Structure 1
Amino acid sequence: MDKNLIIDVGVHTGQDTEFYLKKGFRVIGIEADPQIYKSVKERLNHYIENGQLTLLNIAVSTKDEPVTFYTNSDRSFWGTTSLDRVKNKEITFSTPFVEMTVEGCRFEKILEQFGIPYYLKVDIEGTEILCVQALKQFESKPKFISIESTKTSWNALLNEFAVFKELGYQKFKAINQAEVPNQVCPSPALEGQYIPYQFEYGASGLFGEETPGNWLSESEIIKVYKDIFWSSRILGVNGIISKLPGGKMLLDTLNIKEPWYDTHASL
């Protein structure tokens, strides 16, 4: 495990990547959307030129071959290779996706080429588990991992934790991503160098020992997610209240928005 390496799968606008770079880490950034990749490459070109950042325009896949990628012009962070995720978003939000072909690559191949990172961040809208499962083939593991966790399937969530447990991860946090813009970088820093940084909405935010809250055991974190799932079923965009006459208007009036969560895991 390379203590100075972070792999950012799902770079999007690059704000998390930039945070890791400014903290002094070397970063391998992965972004499937060609337009977003081009924009981030131009903005962070200084780090690419000095060798601190390697940016890859690929999609994590089950095979090393071209794959269908779906991008959303209204919400660029919804880009995904998961057709199930696309269908769900189209039905729920009546928003169209554009289909394109991009280069696909197994995450095992990426780890073989660049090594095991200190921290692995994965946010690729529905296929995060591919990156976690790829670690089974390696003796060394990242000290920390974060993935956007599912809120639609309890069995899928339990499978995520089963894979984490198999890999040796024993401590967990559920981070409300809607609250990331309120995060404050601790000083002195607990990971890398200290920098004052303001996260925008959509960022994954702080990582490792700098994440807010206490580390929980597997049984404790599953209890937390039970509450999250129940809240989603009642107050979520497809929840009980939203399906009642005037329910969506009521939720909008009360400014109740369904949050999403990242699971952070530590060895």
Structure 2
Amino acid sequence: MNRLVFDVGMFDGGDTAQYLRDGYDVVAVEANPEMVGDARVLFANEIANGRLKIVNAAIAEEGGEREFWICDSLGEWSSFDRSIASRGGAEHHAITVPCRTFGSLIAEFGVPYYAKIDIEGHDRICLQQLTPATAPQFISVEMEHGSGDVDLRLMKALGYTKFKIVCQALDWIDYNPATGILFERYFGGRTGRAVRKLRRIMKHAGLNPRADKYGQGTSGPPGPDTAGTWRSFETVLKQWTRLHETDKRKGAEGLGWWFDIHATK
């Protein structure tokens, strides 16, 4: 069995660490050289024994070098897009980073079993550089609230037939997928009622809250280990549409929630 995982947008290595603990080999891609330096110390043993390879580069349409914006207060907002790195007036600064195409990674390391892609506004570049022959068995991208339908259609064109939207905004809630219990004893009164209502909304919409060992702030497990039911393209497109319409009704801030789209063949 292919045990290779691509962690595109390694950040602080939270996902990479759990992939390694779960027995996967990992190629981790990160543009921020400071994060890469820290990871090379943290994962020195795994690098030495060949289970982890770290690529210090940003994914782009072509190789070379480009200006990249580092968010000083929230490193996960660092991006080619300055408006993302500076959200909410965050302090930020520019650096020059080397660039790689997603196709060049596959040519060098092989087609992964799973690719986690979370690179702040540029996930679609990876999808656009895949072909049906190079598409991983499982893949995930951060859901674009404004144009996630484009990514869903790209995934479908790559041969993916089953999808799910995973809500990452609820990873602070201890959720048991077997029983559906949200441990409401922690939430009394008005808050408790809101939590119970939220659970009903999530269940009705078919959206899956995080339920795993990866911890807050990580993207979570590979596709086969995610909570919830795999659904058709048409069903998940409708789910995305409902989320998109909710965002529009709420105005500039939208839901403010983090969702990932997962797909498999």
Deviation at 1:88, TM superposition (A): 5.3
Match of 2:253 among 238, 247, 250: 238
Q: Which runs of 5+ in 1 are unaligned?
A: 187-196, 240-256
Structure 2 residue identity aligned to 1:143: Q
Q: Partners of 2:121 and 2:167 in 1: how far apart?
A: 17
Matched, 1:226 2:241: yes
Q: Partners of 2:94 and 2:177 in 1: how far apart?
A: 38
Matches within 5 A, 1:4-83: 4-81=3-80, 83=81
SS of match in other structure, 2:72: coil
Q: Partners of 1:140 and 1:104 in 2: how far apart?
A: 20
Q: Judge conservation of contact 1:180–1:203 (CA < 8 Å) in 2.
A: no
Structure 1 residue identity aligned to 2:171: V
Match of 2:121 among 116, 120, 126: 126
Q: Evaluate the alpha carbon distance shift between residue 37 and residue 237 of structure 1 in structure 2; reply closer, same or farther with a 3 A threshold.
A: farther
Q: Partners of 1:221 and 1:107 in 2: how far apart?
A: 26
Q: Partners of 1:208 and 1:4 in 2: how far apart?
A: 13
Matched, 1:204 2:212: no
Deviation at 1:141, TM superposition (A): 2.5
Structure 1 residue identity aligned to 2:228: G
Identity %, equivalent residues: 29
Identify the residue that residue 147 of structure 1 maps to in structure 2: 141
Q: Partners of 2:239 and 2:48 in 1: how far apart?
A: 43
- Between stretches 226-235 and 38-47, larger displacement belongs to 226-235
Q: Partners of 2:61 and 2:228 in 1: how far apart?
A: 34
Identify the residue that residue 100 of structure 1 maps to in structure 2: 95
SS of match in other structure, 2:90: coil
Q: Per-residue displacement from partner, 1:147-201 (whole Å, max 9, x unpaired)?
A: 00111x2xx3222112111100011111111223546799xxxxxxxxxx74332
Identify the residue that residue 130 of structure 2 maps to in structure 1: 135
Match of 2:264 among 249, 263, 266: 266
Deviation at 1:235, TM superposition (A): 4.0
Q: TM-score, normalised by structure 1?
A: 0.80
Match of 2:152 among 148, 154, 161: 161
Q: Judge conservation of contact 1:143–1:266 (CA < 8 Å) in 2.
A: yes
Q: Partners of 1:30 and 1:229 in 2: how far apart?
A: 29
Q: Judge conservation of contact 1:236–1:258 (CA < 8 Å) in 2.
A: no
Deviation at 1:208, TM superposition (A): 1.8
Q: Evaluate the alpha carbon distance shift between residue 105 and residue 89 of structure 1 in structure 2; reply closer, same or farther with a 3 A threshold.
A: closer
Structure 1 residue identity aligned to 2:117: V
Matched, 1:174 2:144: no
Matched length = 232
Q: Judge conservation of contact 1:68–1:100 (CA < 8 Å) in 2.
A: yes
Q: Partners of 1:214 and 1:7 in 2: how far apart?
A: 23
Q: Partners of 1:121 and 1:88 in 2: how far apart?
A: 20
Q: Which runs of 5+ in 2 are unaligned?
A: 179-211
Q: Partners of 2:56 and 2:177 in 1: how far apart?
A: 30
Identify the residue that residue 87 of structure 1 maps to in structure 2: 83
Q: Evaluate the alpha carbon distance shift between residue 106 and residue 140 of structure 1 in structure 2; reply closer, same or farther with a 3 A threshold.
A: closer
Q: CA RMSD in A?
A: 2.2
- Between stretches 125-134 and 172-181, larger displacement belongs to 172-181
Q: Partners of 2:251 and 2:85 in 1: how far apart?
A: 13
